[in-house]
């Protein structure tokens, strides 16, 4: 990633960063839901796959931007992390934990309601993989996304 683009990402205003975080978090579940819906139609499988990948693009792009924004600070690799960086990192991890807790409780509650309503849930590749991919992708990305969410706009250079 060239430095101009890197600098643009570094100086993204908070409102735009929050929009990107929203897209990153909602994009994958939406793509999976669309895929699940289209599977039962007569649409060509390649067309469904292409549509799924197209829907996945904004998620991937926003995840990369979120990672790039927090890179070095969230993973502690930057040579000099000062006290504000450390406080911000701590806050981002705490918020990630809260968000993850809400998502897991909501997912458990929805599954519980679904099962107690007389439905059955079959654990196969179709149900396991979307959940596994969510865990693999979002668990490491969540702290970066939360840092991008909480940090206020950078002061202009002076």
Partner 1 sequence: MPDSQRRVHNRLAVLRAERGLSRRQLADKLAINYQTIGYIERGDYNPSLELALTIAELFRLPIEAIFSLKPMTPLSEEIFRDPPAATS
Nearer to partner 1, 59 or 96 (CB): 96
Residue 80 corresponds to which tokens in the numbers above?
A: 């000099």
Question: Taking the CA atoms of the chain, what radius of gyration do you get in angstroms?
Answer: 19
Q: Tell me the window of 1-9, 58-66, 75-83, 140-148 that interacts with partner 1 (CB under 8 A).
A: 75-83
Footprint on residues 88-107 left by partner 1 (CB under 8 A): 91
Q: By CB under 8 A, is residue 156 in contact with partner 1?
A: yes
The smaller minimum CB distance to partner 1, of residues 123 and 156, is found at 156
List Cα–Cα distances, 133 to 109, 126, 138, 151, in angstroms.
20, 12, 8, 27
Backbone angles phi, psi at 137, to 5 degrees: -85, -50
Query: Is residue 154 involved in binding partner 1 (CB under 8 A)?
Result: yes
Which residue stretch of 28-36, 55-63, 84-92, 123-131 sits at the interface with partner 1 (rule: CB under 8 A)?
84-92
- The residue ranges that bind partner 1 (CB under 8 A) are 80, 82-85, 87, 91, 152, 154-158
């Amino acid at each position: 990633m060239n430095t101009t683009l890197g600098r643009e990402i570094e100086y993204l205003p908070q409102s735009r960063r929050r929009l990107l975080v929203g897209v990153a978090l909602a994009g994958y579940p939406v793509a999976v839901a669309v895929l699940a819906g289209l599977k039962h139609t007569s649409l060509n499988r390649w067309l469904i796959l292409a549509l799924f990948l197209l829907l996945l693009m904004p998620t991937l792009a926003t995840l990369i931007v979120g990672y790039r924004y927090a890179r070095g600070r969230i993973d502690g690799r930057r040579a000099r992390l000062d006290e504000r960086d450390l406080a911000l990192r701590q806050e981002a991890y705490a918020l990630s934990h809260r968000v993850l807790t809400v998502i897991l409780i909501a997912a458990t509650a929805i599954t519980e309601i679904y099962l107690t309503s007389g439905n059955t849930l079959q654990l196969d590749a179709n149900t396991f993989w979307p959940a596994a991919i969510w865990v693999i992708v979002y668990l490491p990305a969540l702290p970066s996304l939360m840092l991008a969410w909480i940090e206020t706009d950078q002061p202009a250079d002076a």
